[in-house]
């Protein structure tokens, strides 16, 4: 059985809602899934998992959250070569450039990029269904 970590940061609860949906989709595809706020997970923990679903909203000038998530992801990138990864998050302004940049970073780290989901503000039913599909796709890729 594949073991997947869902690691996220959420300021308003929108990205947390998405995290729960991706986890649900991965579980429905028979993966073992654990969900962690980023402050409860570190790059050293990554060795225990076969794939990752990372979630972070756009912050400031369309960047990852800078106090907790960015430092974590900078270290995590060094461990992503050949590993299935999906990305998700919400935004309240802009056009999603933070996600495009994040996808590029993830691919440059050598990850097997599975897909991404973004939601403007709170995720609607379509975004949550897309999150469940992302979780399912990641579970199948592991």
Predicted confidence (pLDDT) per residue in 10-47, tens digit? 999 999 999 999 999 999 999 999 999 999 999 999 99
Average pLDDT over residues 67-74: 96
Determine the Cα–Cα distance for residues 45 and 11; give it in Å rounded to an integer.
23
Enumerate domains of the chain plus CATH numbers.
3-141 (3.40.50.360)
Q: What is the pLDDT of residue 61?
A: 78
Angle at 37 between CA 35 and CA 40, to 5 degrees: 100
pTM value is 0.96
Q: Please tell me the predicted confidence (pLDDT) of residue 2.
A: 84
């Amino acid at each position: 059985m594949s073991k997947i970590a869902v690691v996220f940061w959420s300021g308003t609860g929108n990205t947390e809602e998405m995290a729960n949906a991706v986890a649900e989709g991965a579980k429905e595809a028979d993966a073992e899934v654990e969900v962690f706020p980023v402050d409860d997970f570190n790059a050293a923990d990554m060795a225990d998992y076969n794939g990752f679903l990372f979630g972070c909203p756009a912050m400031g000038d369309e960047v990852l959250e800078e106090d907790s998530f960015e430092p974590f992801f900078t270290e995590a990138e060094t461990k992503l070569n050949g590993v299935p990864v999906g990305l998700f998050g919400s935004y309240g302004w802009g056009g999603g450039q933070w996600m495009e940049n994040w996808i590029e970073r993830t691919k440059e780290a050598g990850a097997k990029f599975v897909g991404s989901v973004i939601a403007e503000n709170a995720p609607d039913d379509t975004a949550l269904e897309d999150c469940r599909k992302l979780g399912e796709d990641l579970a199948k890729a592991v």
